[in-house]
A = this chain, B = another copy of it.
Amino acid sequence: MPVEASNGEDRKTIIVFSGDLDRAMAAFIIATGAAAMGSKVTMFFTFWGLNILRKPSGEAVRKPLLDRLFGWMMPRGPAKLGLSKMNMGGLGARMMRYVMKQKKVASLEELMDTAKELGVKLVACTMSMDVMGLRPEELIDGLEFAGVATYLSEADRANVNLFI
């Protein structure tokens, strides 16, 4: 299929609401693909999507009990994510990871590194962080922090906006 001129500015936004391995993969495949083709890409991580950005090791962040509630139960970073379907207590996610490795498909961790190298802007939703009790130091480096107004101003200038 031919590639033709785009309408509007060559800019994409993706809201990453889901914290499932498979949906996170889809989001980063689209984001890195678009960035590689020259688009400006911004990913907004909100609700469960913030789990993708968590550091694997639990930093000794002192916070009140209420803020620890979700943190205890939610996965810490890409290696801990489950599948949206057929997760089977984590077996499905491990199977998916194994198959992708055998097939030489980039892992989520590699896609995230590529996204950073290609200049994809990763934004953590501050309101969701507040609700989930997540502190900036619990998330990976290189993030921006913003809310819905920032998302909307970027989406207004983009020609592709997805909610994943």
Task: Tell me the A residues contacting B by CB distance below 8 Å.
Answer: 1-10, 15, 17, 19, 22-23, 25-26, 29-30, 33-34, 37, 39, 46-48, 66, 69-70, 73-74, 84-86, 95-96, 99-100, 102-103, 105, 127, 130-131, 133, 144, 146, 148-164
**In the complex the two chains form, is A160's CB within 8 Å of B164's CB?**
no
Contacts of A39 in B (CB 8 A): 152
Please name 9 pairs of A and B residues whose Cβ atoms are closer than 8 Å in the assembled complex, sorted by A. A3-B156, A7-B9, A19-B85, A26-B47, A70-B99, A103-B131, A156-B159, A158-B160, A161-B162
| B152 engages A99 (CB within 8 Å) | no
Copies of this subunit? 3
Contact A29 B127, CB 8 Å, known A156-B7, A163-B164 = yes
**Contacts A6-B157, A73-B86 known; 18 new A-B pairs at CB < 8 A:** A1-B144, A2-B153, A3-B149, A3-B156, A4-B156, A7-B7, A7-B9, A7-B159, A22-B48, A26-B46, A29-B127, A30-B152, A37-B153, A69-B95, A70-B95, A99-B133, A103-B130, A103-B131
